[in-house]
């Protein structure tokens, strides 16, 4: 078993980019090069800004390269819960995520696959919740179908998909560089101020606009955001390739607490179980724990039904918010913090970070306008 290594990095050979060791200047400095930061960097370049992006480790080294790879329409809350909380804004937000899914499909066709996703219920309460979701989505004209099959009974969302998050991020990083952004790896930020980013090696990046796009590290980089965020560890495991199960599309169950998919090469990736030891998972640690891994293993054998060998176990940090809406805000003049995706940042993170890049450079952003309206009581 590989310790705390995401299965997504298997077979990836990619040269590490240099670290930044001298002072530098840009119009926009992006801190964090996961899916969100790369989206921000590309948008800022598209708007004509000189962009420097830095990451403490590797591109997609944290949550962006350690997640389940599910690309789901909607915000973190199920649509009917979103309608209750945000009114009409819920459907508008959902439609933005559908547009983003189309964009991902168009931009990275080889790193994504599109067979829909499946929510299955495991008890009567969840069945009733699926019904409420079905009714709310039908009413708002969002595509959803009833499902009964080998994975269980529930709902199919035909517009959803999945991705290889590491390959996808590396493609986007290469594009950002081709478009003119300068990206540095192994470049750790220790402080962010108005107009300046300080690195642990003593170098300083001066930029009037700083976009901190680091879901799991947002509170440590911008302490003023901390009271809006809850630090959470999420865990996964992966098996060797197997044909003892066939899982045609990503599945989530138990209100999304568990999620799994089978990759084109037959490996099964399973994540979740956070509710099984909830207090333990409110932590800043990012290594797998025996209790959650034990739960995942139990689910792998009894719920998914594969006996394939477990090859990888890993964990990473994300942040959750109380209202399940992400944080996209300024924390000092020109300093933006983006994160708090409540466990589902692959699609929403790209939208939020692109929006932050646009607003920070004076361009309008329709997604953020609707997000703002959802926050209003
Ligand atoms: C196990 C797991 C499963 C998940 N499954 C899904 C899923 O299936 N679908 C989905 O939509 N979402 C999922 N998520 C959530 C999703 O992965 C995250 O919300 C999303 O990746 C956050 O993107 P990001 O770019 O903000 O953060 P990250 O990908 O974490 O990127 C932030 C970057 O900032 C860098 N950084 C941190 N501190 C510093 C510093 N001091 N200086 C410089 N750089 C720094 C990090 O090295 C990192 O590369 C999952 C998350 C986990 C952990």
Read off the pLDDT of residues 199-257 as tens digits, 9 standing for 90 and up. Answer: 999 999 999 999 999 999 999 999 999 999 999 999 999 999 999 999 999 999 999 99
Ligand 1 probe mutation, 346, 350, 356, most atoms within 8 A of CB: 346
Where in the chain is CATH 3.30.9.10?
115-162+229-320
* CATH architecture for the domain at 10-66+165-228+323-375: 3-Layer(bba) Sandwich (3.50)
Decide if 138 contacts 149 (C-beta within 8 A).
no
Where in the chain is CATH 3.50.50.60?
10-66+165-228+323-375
Query: Quick one: average pLDDT of 68-93?
Result: 97
* pLDDT tens digit sequence for 127-161: 999 999 999 999 999 999 999 999 999 999 999 99
Atom of ligand 1 nearest to the CA of 188: 42
What's the pLDDT score for residue 21? 98
Q: Average model confidence (pLDDT) for the chain?
A: 97
The CATH class given to the 115-162+229-320 domain equals: alpha beta
What's the pLDDT score for residue 1? 46
* pLDDT tens digit sequence for 227-236: 999 999 999 9
Query: Quick one: average pLDDT of 109-117?
Result: 97
340 ligand 1 Cβ < 6 A:
no
Ligand 1 probe mutation, 6, 8, 29, 34, most atoms within 8 A of CB: 34
Query: Quick one: average pLDDT of 162-170?
Result: 97
Given a cut of 90, whether residue 3 has pLDDT beyond it is no
341 ligand 1 Cβ < 6 A:
yes
Given a cut of 90, whether residue 2 has pLDDT beyond it is no
What's the pLDDT score for residue 324? 95
Given a cut of 70, whether residue 197 has pLDDT beyond it is yes
Given a cut of 60, whether residue 176 has pLDDT beyond it is yes
What's the pLDDT score for residue 4? 83
Q: Which helix (H) or strand (E) holds 338?
A: strand 335-339
321 ligand 1 Cβ < 6 A:
no
Tell me the C-alpha to C-alpha distance, in Å, between residue 56 and each of 19, 31, 81, 169, 199. 9, 9, 36, 16, 9
- d(CA 217, CA 234) in angstroms, rounded, equals 14
Dihedral sign, Cα of residue 161, residue 287, residue 349, residue 19: negative
Q: Give the percent of the chain with pLDDT over 90.
A: 97
What's the pLDDT score for residue 25? 98
SS (H, E, C) 213-237: ECCCCHHHHCHHHHHHCEEEEEEEE
What's the pLDDT score for residue 377? 63
66 ligand 1 Cβ < 6 A:
yes
- d(CA 239, CA 220) in angstroms, rounded, equals 33
Structure tokens of 24?
């530098």
The mean-pLDDT minimum among 42-56, 272-286, 317-331 falls in 272-286
Query: Quick one: average pLDDT of 360-370?
Result: 98
Q: Provide CB contacts within 8 A for 149, sequence distance 6+.
A: none
Given a cut of 70, whether residue 271 has pLDDT beyond it is yes
Distance 179 CA to ligand 1 centre (A): 23
- d(CA 316, CA 7) in angstroms, rounded, equals 13
């Amino acid at each position: 078993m590989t310790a705390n290594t995401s299965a997504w990095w298997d077979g990836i050979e990619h040269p590490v980019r240099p670290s930044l060791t001298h002072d530098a200047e840009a119009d926009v400095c992006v801190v964090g090069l996961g899916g969100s930061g790369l989206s921000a960097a590309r948008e800022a370049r598209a708007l004509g800004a000189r962009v420097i992006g830095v990451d403490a480790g590797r591109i997609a080294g944290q949550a962006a390269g350690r997640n389940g790879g599910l690309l789901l329409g909607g915000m973190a809350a199920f649509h009917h819960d979103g309608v209750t909380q945000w009114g009409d804004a819920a459907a508008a937000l959902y439609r933005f995520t559908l547009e983003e899914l189309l964009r991902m499909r168009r931009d990275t066709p080889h790193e994504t696959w599109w067979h829909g996703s499946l929510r299955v219920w495991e008890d009567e309460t969840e069945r009733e919740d699926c019904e409420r979701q079905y009714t709310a989505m039908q009413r708002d004209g969002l595509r959803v179908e009833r499902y009964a099959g080998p994975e269980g009974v529930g709902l199919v969302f035909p517009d959803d998909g999945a991705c290889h998050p590491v390959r996808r991020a590396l493609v986007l990083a290469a594009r950002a560089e081709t478009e003119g952004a300068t990206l540095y790896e192994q470049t750790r930020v220790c402080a962010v101020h108005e107009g300046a980013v300080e690195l642990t090696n003593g170098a300083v990046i001066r930029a009037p606009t700083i976009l901190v796009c680091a879901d799991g590290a947002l509170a440590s980089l911008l302490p003023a955001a901390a009271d809006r965020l809850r630090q959470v560890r999420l865990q996964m495991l992966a098996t060797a390739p197997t044909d003892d199960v066939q899982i045609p599309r990503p599945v989530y169950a138990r209100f999304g607490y568990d999620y799994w998919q089978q990759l084109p090469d037959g490996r099964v990736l399973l994540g979740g179980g956070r509710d099984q030891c909830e207090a333990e998972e409110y932590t800043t640690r990012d290594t797998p724990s025996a209790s959650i891994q034990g739960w995942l293993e139990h689910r792998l054998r009894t719920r998914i039904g594969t006996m394939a060998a477990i090859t990888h176990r890993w964990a990473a940090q994300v942040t959750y918010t109380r209202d399940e809406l992400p944080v996209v805000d300024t924390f000092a003049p020109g300093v933006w913090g983006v994160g708090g995706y409540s466990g589902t940042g692959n699609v929403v993170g790209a939208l939020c970070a692109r929006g932050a890049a646009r607003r920070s450079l004076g361009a309008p952003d329709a997604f953020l306008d609707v997000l703002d309206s959802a926050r209003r009581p």
